[in-house]
Amino acid sequence: MKRFLSLVAVVTLLGCVAAPLPMQSRVQGENVLTVAPGDSWTVVEFNESGESVRTLGLELTSEPAETCISGDWRKVKVVSDPARYTRDPAYIVSVNRIEILLNTSLCDAYDSYIFDKDANFGLGEHVAYGMFGGKTLGRVVAYRTK
């Protein structure tokens, strides 16, 4: 039993420091993505074939959000989500990226749109990540609507 618990502890720790999240390579340019509370965005997700698979209308708020991930998370108001894919989404702006967590009710299994702040025209990735690594699910494009 001690060996099993030791193995579980090691696997858990290794999972927490596993490979970095899949991120889009930086695209340098003049059109740096910026966000602020009150901004409205349309985010369009594309599959590997380049077909649009989801379109969300989102409005960023300044209201704090509860997530399982540390940081200064803020609530996202869902304006349009025809497939009802999101659940209490939240966003965070860090030094080099913007992340929209699509579902804040799940811990250790995160579903997010991640944008490199230096990326042109809001290019990003739809990623799933957790204790044991992550993978890219699709590409996303965000554009400001308000």
pLDDT digits (tens, 9 = 90+) for 33-49: 677 899 899 999 998 88
pLDDT of 117 reads: 79
Residue partners of 70: CB distance under 8 A and separation at least 6: none
pLDDT tens-digit profile, the chain (146 residues): 444 333 333 333 333 333 333 323 333 334 456 778 998 999 999 988 899 999 999 999 999 999 999 999 999 999 999 999 999 999 999 888 999 999 999 899 999 999 987 765 688 999 999 988 999 999 999 988 87
The mean pLDDT value of the chain amounts to: 79
pLDDT of residue 143: 87
CA distance 104 to 65: 9
Counted domains in the chain: 1
| pLDDT at residue 119, rounded to an integer | 64
Whether the CB-CB separation of 101 and 69 falls below 8 Å is answered with yes
Contact 132, 18 (CB under 8 A): yes
Domain span including residue 49: 2-144
What is the structure's pLDDT at 51? 93
Amino acid 4: pLDDT: 33
